[in-house]
Structure 1
Amino acid sequence: MTWWHAVIIFVAGVWAGSINAVVGSGTLVTFPVLVALGYSPLTATTSNAVGLAPGTISGAYGYRHELTGYWPQVIRFAVASFFGAIGGTVLLLTLPKDAFETIVPVLVGLAVVLVIVQPRISKWVQKRREANVDAVAGAAHRGGPLLMGLLFLIGIYGGYFTAAQGVMMMAVMGMLLTEPMQRLNGVKNSLSAVINVVAGLIYAIVAPVSWPVIGLLAVGSTIGGQLGAKIGRRLSPTVLRGVIVVIGIAAVVQLLLK
């Protein structure tokens, strides 16, 4: 690894950590960077999962105040994410390598679409919440079997390929819970941390990874997680989303041409 490769990976880690804390989809920054630098899609995915895990923990810690009094529910949701992440890692490690490399462009494309439509999803969720405010006023919405099942499925997706899992979480929680959006964002960061840590630990032990990449991403994403939690909400979501979409599309094109 050359010094400028190291700088690029570190900067991508800071950027991804910041984006994950605010919006999600940081993998759409780091994954294409690693592939462009010559790493295989499998190694890029596993190293990315391990390297970004500290950043998701950092982002979750930055949102701890929004979760005051809500930790029992976060723990319930985390159980679904935990087992889903294990299922996703098992799929990644058992499916043939060719199958993964065939699926990756589809997953990246899906993630890009989710990032594009995320504002529309947010607006729809907000309208639904406002329309039902009287019906749910004073109700303790803790999330039933439907939410737990969806979080489990998102955990599988996140354990297999992490891009845009945060967008998916915000969509389903926004529809099925009545908590403020900032609290839901804190929950999203906590669940993403669970998924990334579980997947990262498994990949670090049994999967092909690049430890120099992991180290650079870990340090960068940890810094980025704190930056995202503190100042990310002041940044323009439109600009962030636009850059993510461009990078994601470029990744799809590059993967399809390989």
Structure 2
Amino acid sequence: MSPLNEIAFLAGAGLLAGAVNALAGGGTLISFPALLALGQPSISASVTNAVALWPGYLGGVLGYRAELRGQRRRTVLLSVTAMLGAIVGSALLLLTPGKLFDSLVPWLVAFASLALLAQPWLRRRFGGDDDRPTSRWVHAGAFLGGCYGAYFNGGMGVLLLAVLGMFLHDNLHRVNAVRAALSLVVSSVSVVAFSLFGPVRWEAVAVVAPASLVGGFLGTRLARLMSPAVLRGVVVAFGLGVAAVLALR
């Protein structure tokens, strides 16, 4: 593949990954294999991918500005919890082989997807409303989502959206906006850790990063056009697809 074709290939992967991350989460399953296809070792591809997709998460938050209004306290408190989880997850990736965790990843994504499918029933069964936006359960989920997302980004958005939707009694689009903010926080922690201590391929970042920013902004526009029921169905279907791909990789 010629250098120009490689640039176009990575730019396309970054655009799609940013859009998917803004819509549902799981864009890593587009950009990570693209980096592997160009011959990058798996660890290098993983940390490069984490750094390159950060602008896409920023684009998602910018696109959800309207839905984030009135949710500042909720978002800040959950962001602190997700940040702590991301610190743990980044350390796990940099300091341990993580083979056992890798084997659990498909099951975690599948569980998150099915939990989102059962979200209306789970919300009635376990509770959660606007008067209790910072219960210990939603914080526990945000911490685990942050840990998972920093260790392996694929499906992080599905996991976070399932947890938030289960315990926050709110419109799915507003909940998805909080999910976008938490994803940005987790990604930011990963960028700092991997930039300092990981084998990042900056030439690939220079191509994927701006493309993912555009994709993230476009993804929020697409999500806003969908009804909550349709959005839930799209996220569940994509999440189960992510789980299947991870199980086969």
What is the TM-score of this pair, normalised by structure 1? Answer: 0.83
Which residue does 1:26 correspond to in 2?
A: 27
Q: Does residue 164 of structure 2 align to residue 173 of structure 1?
A: yes
Q: Which residue among 99, 106, 116 is the counterpart of 2:103?
A: 106
Q: Does residue 154 of structure 2 align to residue 121 of structure 1?
A: no
Q: Quick check: 1:22–1:233 contact (8 Å CA) kept in 2? A: no
In the alignment, the residues of structure 2 paired with residue 241 and residue 124 of structure 1 have an alpha-carbon distance, to the nearest angstrom, of 10
**Any idea what the Cα deviations from partners look like across 1:27-47, whole Å, max 9, x if unmatched?**
111111211221111111101
Q: Superposition pairs for residues 22-61 of structure 1, below 5 Å?
A: 22-61=23-62
In the alignment, the residues of structure 2 paired with residue 33 and residue 249 of structure 1 have an alpha-carbon distance, to the nearest angstrom, of 18
Q: Superposition pairs for residues 153-164 of structure 1, below 5 Å?
A: 153-164=144-155
Structure 1 unaligned segments of length 5 or more: list them. none
Which residue does 1:62 correspond to in 2?
A: 63
Q: Does residue 201 of structure 2 align to residue 210 of structure 1?
A: yes
**Any idea what the Cα deviations from partners look like across 1:113-158, whole Å, max 9, x if unmatched?**
35xx72x4334212444x57xx878x51212122112211111111
How many positions carry a matched residue from both structures? 243
Q: Quick check: 2:138–2:167 contact (8 Å CA) kept in 1? A: yes
How far 1:69 moved relative to its partner?
Answer: 1.1
How far 1:234 moved relative to its partner?
Answer: 4.4
Q: Once superposed, which parts of structure 1, at least 4 consecutive aligned residues long, lie more than 6 Å away?
A: 235-248
What is the TM-score of this pair, normalised by structure 2? Answer: 0.86
Which residue does 2:75 correspond to in 1?
A: 74
In the alignment, the residues of structure 2 paired with residue 6 and residue 104 of structure 1 have an alpha-carbon distance, to the nearest angstrom, of 32
Q: Quick check: 1:66–1:183 contact (8 Å CA) kept in 2? A: yes
Structure 2 unaligned segments of length 5 or more: list them. none
Q: Does residue 153 of structure 2 align to residue 152 of structure 1?
A: no
How far 1:55 moved relative to its partner?
Answer: 0.7
Q: 1:247 to 1:78 in 2, by over 3 A?
A: closer
**Any idea what the Cα deviations from partners look like across 1:155-179, whole Å, max 9, x if unmatched?**
1111111111111111111111112
In the alignment, the residues of structure 2 paired with residue 136 and residue 53 of structure 1 have an alpha-carbon distance, to the nearest angstrom, of 30
In the alignment, the residues of structure 2 paired with residue 103 and residue 41 of structure 1 have an alpha-carbon distance, to the nearest angstrom, of 16
Q: Superposition pairs for residues 230-241 of structure 1, below 5 Å?
A: 230-234=221-225
Q: 1:64 to 1:3 in 2, by over 3 A?
A: same
Root-mean-square deviation (CA, aligned residues, Å) is 2.7
Q: 1:108 to 1:30 in 2, by over 3 A?
A: farther
Identity %: 30
